[in-house]
Amino acid sequence: MKEMRKKLNEIIYISRVTQVTKKRLRIIFSVILSNTTVILDILIILYFAYIITGETTENTYIIFFVEKIYLLPLIILFRYASNFIEKMNIISLQLQVEKNLRVYLIKEVYKKGNYSIADATFYINTLSGHVGFFYGAFTAFLNSTVQIIIYSAFLLTTSTEIILIFAGGGLVLFFPTRKLLRLGRKYMHESWINAQQTGRDVQRVVENIFLIKILGTSESEISRYEKTTQLLQDSQLKNQAYGITNSLMPNFITVFTISILFIFTNLTKVVTLEFLGVTLRLVQTVGALNTSLNMMINSQIHLSKFIELENNKLIERSEYYLVEKNLSQSIELSGIDFKYFRSDEYIFEDLNINFYKNKHTVITGPNGSGKSTLLGIISKIFYPEKGSVKINSNKIGYVGVTPLIINSTLRENFLYGNEAIKSDEEIEKLMKEFELFNEDEKGLDTVVDSKSLSSGQMQKISFIRSLLADTELLLLDESTSNLDTETKDLIFKILEEKAITIINSTHNKDDFKYDYHVNISYSNGKRNIDYL
């Protein structure tokens, strides 16, 4: 009971998060339409039974309808129209929930920042789809439940003894149904784990494609991915097999039992054509009920994972990030605790560090030590669990190892994200200062992309973009690792003349003239930060 209450609370919470209005009304509308279809199905069965046998029930209202044969085409038309509207209503609801959740999740990924590409892609694209899918499964479950009640009520009015036998058979079916549902859930959980691993394997290849090709390890990487996808396929196949078995079992057992009874008993003298037709529709609906239960249980795993993601949700703290113009330092970090999503290891614990105003500080440390993470915390890309950041300016520039170049004009590339008004003369002056094109000068309306520029030119554009934004704090993350010595010297000669704070994450501190050196060391699972 406690577990059921927990699941219900999860559903209610996620329902609020979706921000889709009138969900209850749309689900109720779908149930009404679906069960209108049931009543029409019974009428259609009675019509055909009357046409074939010339007999009908003693119910006055049913006789009134059935004897008016000309209504049959209209009833069939109305039945399929109701069915179409009901299905489109739920599909529309599912897609709207999925869309709203995608927008909601990408906002959370953007705000918190501590997600891997694989996790972010999986949660935004796949998880949102499965949560939307839950609403369709839940509506199908309600539809099937009410349909079973209606079919059973009709059958009780025709043959109480036989329907009681069927009810006993339903109780017998309960136990294998429960077992199959549990097995389906088990393999859905395995599918979830394997699907996430396939995403990580793809990310691993994409992020390291140069190294993989150069070292000739592509076959082992492909083999690794093939094994993961095989595990995913196996778990999905088993989940589907148990779900299909659960769906087909009631219909198979009922039809098989009726066929045996017809052969070896005098059932044909007791059962009417309409009773048989409605009974078959009843057991089909029981199969549909099992299918919807399987779908709900499958989706429940994704609802639980959504709650896990919500527990990582950004909780705004007004005192966390403060811009203080009169701050004596450029940056003050106090008591910072930070770890990535789904990781038990803290990158930083109780981190306290200051950076001096208008000085060039290099940050060194081995791969994985947290250099880039530190820049992310300073720039508010990453949001720590504890601690505070004080900064003397919100005019922050960033240049990473991979420059951002958009397929557009040089002017738009220089002014991307810049709210300040800059004249062409200011831009052209910096282009000459940085020797962007040397002799082959290009106008600001020249269209460029990452293929028409050299790596040095792309990095120069990134530095020019930062300076045009009147940057007072410039964050560099291996920003010159792909540049030759002459280009590095030119860029930093220009930067030395600017009154800006530079924090430079690098593996090669000797390539720069700097004022301060911060080193991040990693030993025994802890990171130590030292001024050298």
Res 3 pLDDT > 70? no
Closest CA to 502 of 472, 460, 458: 472
The pLDDT-based confidence of 503 (bands split at 50, 70, 90) is very high
Element (H, E) at 25: helix 23-53
* Range 81-92 average pLDDT: 87
Q: Give which of 157, 151, 158, 167 is closest to 270, Cα–Cα.
A: 158
How does residue 150 score in pLDDT terms, banded at 50, 70 and 90?
A: confident
Q: Pairing state of beta strands 408-409 and 396-399?
A: unpaired
Contacts of 401 (CB under 8 A, 6+ apart): 477, 478, 479, 481, 482
Report pLDDT for 347. 87
Share of the chain above pLDDT 70, in %: 89
Of residues 157 and 221, more confidence is placed in 221
- Note the pLDDT of residue 126: 77
Contacts of residue 382, defined as CB under 8 A and 6 or more positions apart, other chains included, come to: 112, 113, 114, 338, 373, 376
- Residue 299 pLDDT more than 80? no
Reported as a single tens digit per residue, the pLDDT across 106-137 is 887 877 777 777 777 777 877 787 778 788 88
Cα 45 to chain centroid, rounded = 45
Q: What is the pLDDT at residue 517?
A: 92
| 490-519 mean pLDDT | 88
pLDDT for the residue 2? 61
List of residues 6+ apart from 89 with CB closer than 8 A: 26, 29, 30, 33
CA angle 234, 236, 239 (to 5 degrees): 110
- Compute the average pLDDT of residues 236-245: 84
Beta-carbon-side half-sphere exposure of residue 369 (alpha carbons within 13 Å): 19
Give the CA distances from residue 18 to residues 6, 10, 80, 133, 388, in Å, rounded to whole numbers and listed in that order. Answer: 19, 12, 30, 13, 31
293 vs 288: CA distance, rounded Å = 9
pLDDT category of residue 314 using cuts at 50, 70 and 90: low
DSSP3 helix / strand / coil % (the chain, rounded to 5): 65, 10, 25
Burial environment of residue 160 by CB neighbours within 10 A (0 to 12, 13 to 18, 19 or more): exposed
Q: What is the pLDDT of residue 360?
A: 92
pLDDT in tens, 200-237: 888 778 767 766 776 678 888 888 888 988 998 898 89
